[in-house]
Amino acid sequence: MVFASSNDFETWMNTMPENFQKDIKRLKKVSEVLTKNPDPKVGHTPKEVIWTKNKAKLYRYQPAKVKTNKVPILMIYALINKPYILDLTPGNSLVEYLTNQGHDVYLLDWGTPGYEDRNMKLDDYVLDYIPRAVQKVLRKSGADEITLFGYCIGGTLTSIFAALHPDLPIRNIIFMTSPFDFSDAGLFTNWLDERYFNLDQMVDTLGNIPPETIDLGSKLLKPLVNYIGPYISLADRSDNEEFVKSWTLMQKWVGDGVPFPGEAYRQWIGEFYQKNKLIKDELYIRGQQVKLRNIKANILNIAAERDHIATPEQVKPLLDKVSSKDKTFKLMPTGHVSVVVGGTAVKKTYPTIDQWIKVHSN
């Protein structure tokens, strides 16, 4: 059907049943969101860069705000996606929440690797980057101890770092949806089986692993939910401006991935998913054996019950390996991402982390 003008379209619309009119308006709104809405702004919490190395930057948040908790928090993010998921938007930001509660918050942003970074290994991140970041945080804050916070792969890297540096003043460690035991990683175990998945050929061919490849693997865990679900939700709730705003922010982050440095990916898949070396004390980083029992800091280990990327069964076993006397496991009624953004995160995850840190920093 072709209309000569918008007035003709409106006239025709007025002759249609009310439910049909509502559906057309929703579809029009969806079209506007997908094609006309400007790119949303993220990472609003004020910050300053206090150190850089290669592509990485170390941020200190709300530097002008009075810090009532004297033990600084260093957030260590994953090697995929961008860390602004921790500071998505005002009112929905773990960083903003913690700084508003008086915490001195820092974040290690790995940046976006280029082809020249394809030979970067997990060893480099654990032994060259994280130690320097810890030193910078302690010096900048003037503190004697530090709290480490690792999300997803960032938590796994944090555990390796802490195990290799038992003499550093690490008072607390928070792990959030970080995998440690890869004996059963769900569908990933089948897909990445070394009998069928030619890891070396993939890395040797591509150099760095494209973010689209990583994103595809995660979405295929629940393809209908991950590929179609977001658009059904948008169509159903397109008249809710607050929902549309949140939806747009999340889709920006989901599509804003970064390459995975090739050699680090070779280790991540080969030594963790395929051989499960970390939990078995068989992992070596530059010749040093990683023994999780060397970790003695207070631990809060957070898992998400609907997490298909780092299942609770992969997260929880850490507590059986460490030597920490004070260790707590929390299972949140969320998924891998909704543990840190969304209504449940704001109401449950944020206060849980804040209260635990305050109790364990006195």
Give the number of other Cβ atoms within 10 Å of residue 301's Cβ.
Answer: 26
Nearest-angstrom CA–CA distance, 218 and 281: 27
> Catalytic: 336?
yes
What does the block give as tokens for 214? 């990583």
* Phi and psi at residue 339, to the nearest 5°: -70, -20
| Torsion-angle region of 151 (φ positive above 0: left; ψ -120 to 50: alpha; else: beta) | beta
What does the block give as tokens for 106? 């820092």
Place of tokens 């020249």: 116
How far apart, in Å, are the Cα atoms of 137 and each of 49, 50, 146, 205, 354? 11, 9, 8, 38, 19
Expressed in angstroms, the distance from the first to the final Cα of the chain is 71
76, 157 contact by CB (below 8 A): yes
Q: CA torsion sign, 255 to 261 to 263 to 264?
A: negative
Catalytic residue among 103, 117, 152, 354: 152
Catalytic residue among 109, 117, 181, 336: 336
Q: Which residues pair with 92 in a beta bridge?
A: 89
> Catalytic: 8?
no
Give the number of other Cβ atoms within 10 Å of residue 155's Cβ.
Answer: 28
160, 127 contact by CB (below 8 A): no
Catalytic residue among 117, 307, 354, 360: 307
> Catalytic: 23?
no
Nearest-angstrom CA–CA distance, 115 and 90: 34
Place of tokens 């998505």: 88
- The residues annotated with a catalytic role in the active site are 152, 307, 336
